[in-house]
Amino acid sequence: MSAYRANPTFACLRCGETLGGGDDPPARTSSPIPTLANQGAHTCPRGCGEWMPRGVLEKLHADADVGTTQPAWQQRTAQVPCRVCGEQMEARKWGGAGFESCKDHGIWVDAAARREIQALLAVHVEQERRIGELMRELAEPGGPRALAIRLLALERRIDKLVGELGALEARVAITERR
Ligand SMILES: [Zn+2]
Ligand SMILES: [Zn+2]
């Protein structure tokens, strides 16, 4: 294990090349696909993928346990050791994108999964931002009551929409029987 810790620079999980990005300026790339590098990920200069250290994930209010464990039949048999601690990484899935995870050190995202993980992270960050806003509203005097009123109004709107949807489905059923 110490051999891994002795070298603090991150290496590519696939080709072993030293990764760029992170605290350094983001690696220049000709790819039009937005990279995770501008969020602090370390990018393989050969384009294999990106490493997001745990600290970067935490800044985005995420962790290496995002998504779900891949089912056993999709777990690869090859050894994929974490470049920081040398422990076998876990194959995980977030949406339709697979990635490698060491819960202590971060996640590895292959280039093919980069776009989807980037999109999922953007949604996640926005959701966390909204949760933060609501928590601050709740902390204000009268906040819980104001939020309860909004929730009730939302419930009424949903009831109304469900009613309208039911009526629409009934009309479609009648049309189809003709
Ligand atoms: Zn590489
Ligand atoms: Zn690790």
pLDDT digits (tens, 9 = 90+) for 83-130: 899 999 999 999 889 999 999 999 999 999 999 998 998 888 889 999
- Ligand nearest to C-alpha 13: 1
- pLDDT of 59 reads 85
Q: How far does residue 51's CA lie from ligand 2's centre (Å)?
A: 12
Q: What's the half-sphere exposure (Cβ side, CA atoms, 13 Å) at 158?
A: 6
Mean pLDDT of 58-80: 81
Distance CA 131, CA 37 (A): 25
Range name among 31-40, 120-129, 137-146, 162-171 with the lowest pLDDT average:
31-40
pTM of the model: 0.71
Query: What is the structure's pLDDT at 2?
Result: 41
**Which three-class secondary structure state does DSSP give residue 177?**
helix
Which ligand gives the minimal distance to the CA of 107?
2
| Amino acid 79: pLDDT | 80
Average pLDDT of span 23-29? 47
Ligand number with the minimum distance to the CA of 49: 1
CA of 10 to the centre of ligand 1 (A): 11
With beta carbons less than 8 A apart as the criterion, state whether 50 and 42 touch: yes
CB atoms within 10 A of CB 111: 17
**Ion ligand 2, residues whose Cβ is below 5 A away:** 82, 84-85, 102, 104-105
pLDDT reported for residue 117 = 92
The ligand placed nearest to the CA atom of residue 47 is 1
Report the mean per-residue pLDDT for the chain. 84
CA of 64 to the centre of ligand 2 (A): 10
Residue 142 Cα to ligand 2 middle (Å): 46
Question: Average of pLDDT values for 13-36?
Answer: 63
Q: Summarize the confidence of residues 52-74 as an average pLDDT.
A: 85
What tokens does 172 get?
């479609």
Distance 84 CA to ligand 2 centre (A): 5
- What residues contact 143, with CB distance under 8 A and at least 6 apart? 137
- When mean pLDDT is compared across 31-45, 58-72, 135-149, 164-178, the lowest value belongs to 31-45
User: How far does the centroid of ligand 2 lie from the alpha carbon of residue 3, in Å?
Assistant: 13
